[in-house]
Chains A and B, each alone.
Chain A
Amino acid sequence: MLPHAKDVESVGEAVQLAEVQGRSLWADARTRFFRNKAAVFGLILLVCVAIFAIFGGFFTQYERDVVDFSLMGANAYKGVPSFETGHYFGTDASGRDLYARIVQGTAISIMVGVVGATVAVIVGTLYGATAGYFGGRVDGIMMRTVDVLMSIPFMFVLILMLVIFGRSMFMLFLGIGLISWLDMARIARGQTLTIKNKEFVEVAHAIGVHPLKIILRHIVPNLLGIVAVYATLLVPQLIIFESFISFLGLGVQEPNTSLGALLSEGASNMFNGTIWQLQFPLIAFVFTIFAFFFVGDGLRDALDPKDR
Chain B
Amino acid sequence: MSSPILSVKDLSVTFDVRRQGAWPWTPPRKLHAVSEMSFDLMPGQCLGVVGESGSGKSTLARAIVGTVPSSGGQINFEGADLASMDTRQRRVHRRDVQMIFQDPLAALNPRMTVGEIIAEPLITHEPATPRAEVKARVRELMERVGLLPNLINRYPHEFSGGQCQRIGIARALILKPKLVICDEPVSALDVSVQAQVVNLLMELQKDFNLSMIFIAHDLSVVKHISDEIIVMYLGRQMEKADAKTLTTAPEHPYSQALISSVPIPDPVLEKARVRPILDGELPSPLAPPSGCVFRTRCPKAQASCAGDRPVMQNLGNNHEVACPFHEPLQVLSIA
Q: For the complex, what is the distance from the CA of A252 to the CA of B111, rounded to whole Å?
A: 41
> Which label, helix, strand, loop or mixed, suits the secondary structure of the A interface?
helix
When the two chains form their complex, are residues A22 and B154 in contact, meaning their CB atoms are under 8 A apart?
yes
Q: Which of A22, A206, A222 contacts B67 (CB 8 A)?
A: A206
When the two chains form their complex, are residues B151 and A20 in contact, meaning their CB atoms are under 8 A apart?
yes
Q: Which of B99, B102, B106 contacts A198 (CB 8 A)?
A: B106
Q: For the complex, what is the distance from the CA of A23 to the CA of B121, rounded to whole Å?
A: 24
Q: Which of A19, A200, A213, A221 contacts B106 (CB 8 A)?
A: A200
Q: For the complex, what is the distance from the CA of A22 to the CA of B101, rounded to whole Å?
A: 24
Q: Which chain B residues in 87-128 approach chain A with CB under 8 Å?
A: 90-92, 94-95, 98-99, 101-103, 106-114, 120-121, 124-125
When the two chains form their complex, are residues B99 and A206 in contact, meaning their CB atoms are under 8 A apart?
yes
Mask, A123-167, CB within 8 Å of B = 1, is 000000000000000000000000000000000000000000000
Question: Is A51 located at the chain interface by the 8 A CB criterion?
Answer: no
Residues of chain A within 8 A (CB-CB) of B103 are 199
Q: For the complex, what is the distance from the CA of A24 to the CA of B153, rounded to whole Å?
A: 9
Question: Is B235 located at the chain interface by the 8 A CB criterion?
Answer: no
When the two chains form their complex, are residues A207 and B150 in contact, meaning their CB atoms are under 8 A apart?
no
Q: Which chain A residues in 13-28 approach chain B with CB under 8 Å?
A: 16-26
In chain B, what residue has the closest Cβ to A224? B111
**CB of B102, distance to nearest CB on chain A (Å):** 8
When the two chains form their complex, are residues A205 and B67 in contact, meaning their CB atoms are under 8 A apart?
yes
Residues of chain A within 8 A (CB-CB) of B56 are none
**CB of A46, distance to nearest CB on chain B (Å):** 26
When the two chains form their complex, are residues A203 and B94 in contact, meaning their CB atoms are under 8 A apart?
no
Residues of chain B within 8 A (CB-CB) of A16 are 150
Residues of chain A within 8 A (CB-CB) of B149 are 17
Q: For the complex, what is the distance from the CA of A207 to the CA of B124, rounded to whole Å?
A: 8
Residues of chain B within 8 A (CB-CB) of A200 are 106-109
When the two chains form their complex, are residues A18 and B67 in contact, meaning their CB atoms are under 8 A apart?
no
Question: Is B152 located at the chain interface by the 8 A CB criterion?
Answer: yes
Q: For the complex, what is the distance from the CA of A206 to the CA of B168, rounded to whole Å?
A: 13
Question: Is B158 located at the chain interface by the 8 A CB criterion?
Answer: yes
When the two chains form their complex, are residues B111 and A222 in contact, meaning their CB atoms are under 8 A apart?
yes
In chain B, what residue has the closest Cβ to A200? B109
When the two chains form their complex, are residues A20 and B157 in contact, meaning their CB atoms are under 8 A apart?
no
**CB of B97, distance to nearest CB on chain A (Å):** 8
When the two chains form their complex, are residues A203 and B107 in contact, meaning their CB atoms are under 8 A apart?
yes
When the two chains form their complex, are residues A207 and B106 in contact, meaning their CB atoms are under 8 A apart?
no
Question: Is B197 located at the chain interface by the 8 A CB criterion?
Answer: no
Residues of chain A within 8 A (CB-CB) of B152 are 19
**CB of A140, distance to nearest CB on chain B (Å):** 10
Q: For the complex, what is the distance from the CA of A99 to the CA of B213, rounded to whole Å?
A: 74
When the two chains form their complex, are residues A21 and B99 in contact, meaning their CB atoms are under 8 A apart?
no
Q: Which chain A residues in 201-242 approach chain B with CB under 8 Å?
A: 202-210, 213, 217-218, 221-222
When the two chains form their complex, are residues A206 and B150 in contact, meaning their CB atoms are under 8 A apart?
no
Residues of chain B within 8 A (CB-CB) of A222 are 109-111
When the two chains form their complex, are residues B94 and A20 in contact, meaning their CB atoms are under 8 A apart?
no
**CB of B67, distance to nearest CB on chain A (Å):** 5
Q: A18-B150, A22-B153 are in contact. Are A208 and B95 (CB under 8 A)?
A: yes
Q: A199-B101, A199-B103 are in contact. Are A209 and B120 (CB under 8 A)?
A: yes
When the two chains form their complex, are residues A208 and B91 in contact, meaning their CB atoms are under 8 A apart?
yes
Mask, B233-264, CB within 8 Å of A = 1, is 00000000000000000000000000000000
Given A203-B171, A208-B94, A221-B112, 19 new contacts (CB under 8 A):
A16-B150, A20-B150, A20-B153, A20-B154, A22-B151, A22-B154, A23-B155, A23-B158, A24-B111, A25-B110, A26-B111, A200-B106, A202-B67, A203-B99, A206-B98, A207-B94, A208-B91, A210-B124, A221-B109
